Every structure is written in C-alpha cells, then in structure tokens.
Amino acid sequence: MGEVSVVENKKVILKNYVDGIPTETDMEVKLGETIELKAPKGSSCFLVKNLYLSCDPYMRGRMRDFHGSYLPPFVPGQRIEGFGLARVIDSDDTNYKPGDIVSGIIGWEEYSLLRSSDNLQLRNIQLDDDIPLSYHLGLLGMAGFTAYAGFNEICCPKKGDSVFVSAACGAVGQLVGQLAKLHGCYVVGSAGSKQKVEILKNELGYDEAFNYKEEADLDTALKRYFPEGIDIYFDNVGGSMLDAALLNMKVRGRIALCGMVSLQSLSTSSQGIKNLYSAIYKRLRLEGFLQSDYLHIFPQFLENVKRYYKEGKIVYIEDISEGLDLAPAALVGLFSGKNIGKQVVRVAKE
C-alpha cells in the first residue's frame, strides 16, 4: 500500500451567530487544517473533493442562535455547509465509488468526509453532455425543485391564471415564471434592477416585469399589471410586497410562501403584515412549504425539467464566483440582490 496523502483543507467558518443580514466579516476563510485523502475503514463514510457550492438564502437562518427550525444552526468556529456538488475520492460506503459525482449537503471546504446516514439529501448525478454540471445545484437541484414543487403542488396552476413572482430573476423565481408560461398563464415578475427586468422580459419569457425599487407604491404597481387581480402569487420576499399582493389577489387566490429575503431580521422583525384581513373575504390560501416535503416527486421533476431544457422550452441563468475565498461575498450578495440568477461558487475545476 502507498502512503496516504495528507493535504491542506481550506474552509469557510462562521465566526459568531448573526441576527440581521450576514456580512462577509461574519465568516472567515481558514487555512492550516489538514485532511487525509482516505475514508477510514469501517466508518461507512466517503471522502469527496468539493467542486461547486450553492449559495441559498435559507442558509442565513442557520447563522442565528435559534434551535427551533427544521435545520440546526451552524456552530460558531466551525465550517458551514450547504448544497453542493463533489467528486468521490475514496469510499467505505458501497453506494459511492471513487469517480462518482454526488450532490447533497457538503462542507464549505475543499474536501469533506460524508456519511449517507446523516440525512444530507445525497444523490449520485448522472452526467449529461447537454447539461452543465453546475445546473445540478440550480435548475436540476434544490432551487429548481423548490420552484417545481411549490408551483405545481401549492399553487395548483390552471391555464389562463394570472401569476405574480417576486425575486423573479433569482434561482427559484426564474424557473417559476417559465413553468407558469408552459402552463399557459399570464406572468409578471418583480426584480431589483433595470438589467434584471430586461432579462425577465427578453430571456425568461415573462409577459411583464418591473423594478420594485422604482415604484412609489407597490399596490398601484400591481394594479397596473393585474387590473383583474392575481390568481397565484409565488412569494420569495415577504414584507411590503406580500402586503401589496394580499390587496390584489382574486377570490380563492393561492399564495406560495417560499422565502422572506426582504426581512432585515428573522427573529425581531418590526414590520408586520397589515393586509392579512383580505385573506378572509377573498378566501385565500397562503401556504409555506419546504422542497424536502416533496422528495417523492423528485424523479418526475428531473425527467420533466431536463426534457424542457433539452427541447429549448426553458433557459437557466447562473452567476458563478471562482474560488472558495469568494464564497462569503457570494453568499452575502444574495441579500442585496448582487447576483443575477442562481449564485454558485466553483471550488475546483471538474
């Protein structure tokens, strides 16, 4: 047997708990730790080289000192984790062999030792020449599946429905709008820049789009695009946009609560929802959801969305940052809308 090689393992750690919007200084890129490029015998673990990391707004929830959520908080001083793509280097798990590409929850580091019993949503990726590998984090990953499950299962779309999507140019929103168009709906999106509005209309096929930062009054803006009202609101931002949408929903409208990226704080928000009374007389349905509730339809999602992509019926826009050193800035940028499309960090070349 040859020597087992030991390499440095650069990682991103959380310095301390964060309540508001995270900043780059809440994290640190740490050098000096090493890792053996071997999965210990009898451990049922496998060792991976990390290729891509996904930056997702839900990760902010794991940065606060709150233990009542569906995922435990990160531990200050330790590396953070999130969805990613990695190549297996060594394995003591018969389901994963060297050379396999896997997706799931991996460390924000160069190499991770994983155990499939740890509920990491791990799956082997079937490579396809027609689909970029990184799309398995966005279009064919957690973000795409969130859009697919939320739109189909929560929103119950019908042909001719009027659909509004906030953060419409983001990782989830861009697919929601395109799925709505494939269903024969009228679709309007909001985003935070002129460039994103152009992308929504010219590349993603939205019927209309507007820059919410240029609107003095969101209620007036929605009445302009939906004079007859909204059947479906796919909400990625919460706050004042959700409040305005509540005033503009049709009777028996459906609101999928997917994200609240507008909130300054997740625990002490002073901004309440003022127009909830309209849910009563309009008989609205507001439902929060997690993509992990719908994993039974993941194979159907993969088959359908791959087909739509290959047939040119949908496109997907990514924003790729190069290198682990840029990962903290990439994650923080989500909360000021710096990213255009799905934010990914490339840790290593395939």
Q: Which residues of 177-199 are buried (b: 16+ CB within 10 A; e: fewer)?
A: bbbbbebebbbbbbbbbeebbeb
Q: Is the pLDDT of residue 1 over 60?
A: no
Collect all residues with Cβ–Cβ distance below 8 Å to 101 and sequence separation of at least 6: 51, 85, 86, 87, 88, 124, 125, 127, 133
Domain membership flag for residue 298: no
Domain membership flag for residue 312: no
Same domain, 155 and 288: yes
Arithmetic mean of pLDDT, 17-38: 93
Same domain, 147 and 65: no
Count how many domains the chain has. Answer: 2
The reported pLDDT for the residue numbered 2 is: 57
pLDDT tens profile 331-341 = 999 998 899 99
Domain membership flag for residue 310: no
Domain membership flag for residue 303: no
Domain membership flag for residue 118: yes
The reported pLDDT for the residue numbered 260 is: 83
Q: What percent of the chain has pLDDT over 90?
A: 87
CATH number at residue 99: 3.90.180.10
Range of the domain at 230: 142-292
Q: What percent of the chain has pLDDT over 70?
A: 97
The reported pLDDT for the residue numbered 117 is: 82
Domain membership flag for residue 211: yes
Same domain, 173 and 273: yes
CA angle 123, 105, 177 (to 5 degrees): 80
User: In which residue are the tokens 């160069």 written?
Assistant: 110
Strands 186-191 and 208-211: parallel
Same domain, 261 and 324: no
Would you say the C-alpha torsion 75, 76, 81, 87 has a positive or negative sign? negative
Same domain, 155 and 286: yes
Mean residue pLDDT across the chain: 94
Domain membership flag for residue 278: yes
Domain membership flag for residue 305: no
Collect all residues with Cβ–Cβ distance below 8 Å to 93 and sequence separation of at least 6: 39, 44, 45, 46, 115, 116
Residue type (1 letter), 321 = S
Same domain, 149 and 281: yes
Same domain, 119 and 166: no
Same domain, 110 and 151: no
Q: Where are the beta strands (DSSP E) in 31-153?
A: 34-36, 45-54, 81-91, 101-107, 111-115, 123-124
CATH number at residue 231: 3.40.50.720
Same domain, 13 and 94: yes
User: In which residue are the tokens 């994103």 written?
Assistant: 196
pLDDT tens profile 302-333 = 999 999 999 999 999 999 999 999 999 999 99
3-state secondary structure of 158: coil
Q: Is the pLDDT of residue 346 over 80?
A: yes
pLDDT tens profile 124-138 = 999 888 999 999 999
Same domain, 55 and 110: yes
Same domain, 97 and 175: no
Arithmetic mean of pLDDT, 228-249: 96
Same domain, 124 and 107: yes
